[in-house]
Structure 1
Amino acid sequence: MVDHIHTPNDGRGSRDVFVNGNRIDNVSWADVRAGVVWFAPEPIRATRREDVYCRRLRGHVEVVFHE
């Protein structure tokens, strides 16, 4: 298991993801080492191919686990 990559289904529990100190919701995956977060902005919408529209953010990524 790669400890610097976080996904919703990786089995490590619930957590919050922050980019440059701002909490980001609907995160598909986050790479702490590379400083990249892939997320679906609100409101959730579809692309022409009926995929979920996602965006990438770059910056200082922090992951905080819930207790």
Structure 2
Amino acid sequence: MSDQSGEHVHYWDDGRGRREVIIDGKPVTHVIWCDTKAGIAVVADQPLKASDGDTVDFHPVWGEITVLALETS
């Protein structure tokens, strides 16, 4: 697995602004964390639910990941 720091690692609250995550050519929403170098993303289950009543359920997704910055006006 790749180093979990650096510009290839993206978190939803890392302070780099809104971004679009594309996995294998398709936009993916509700991405919690992704590593473009390792090709893995952690995505919240849809519809949002919490099996334990506290933490939102999630699953890993593997593929070619591209992250694009979204401009704000």
TM-score by shorter chain over 0.5:
yes
Give the CA deviation at 1:18: 0.7
Identity %: 31
Among candidates 35, 38, 58, match of residue 62 of structure 2 = 58
Query: Does 2:31 align with 1:36?
Result: no
Structure 2: any 5+ residue segments left out of the alignment?
none
Task: Name the Cα RMSD after superposition.
Answer: 1.3
Count how many residue pairs are aligned between Structure 1 and Structure 2.
67
Shift of 1:39: 0.6
One-letter identity of the residue aligned with 1:17: V
Q: Given the two structures, how large is their TM-score scaled by the length of structure 1?
A: 0.90
1:5 to 4, 9, 20: 9
Q: Does 1:19 align with 2:23?
A: yes
- Structure 1 CA distance for aligned equivalents of residues 54 and 15 of structure 2: 27
Query: TM-score, normalization: structure 2?
Result: 0.83
Between the aligned partners of 2:53 and 2:39, the Cα distance in structure 1 is 28
Moved over 2 A (4+): none
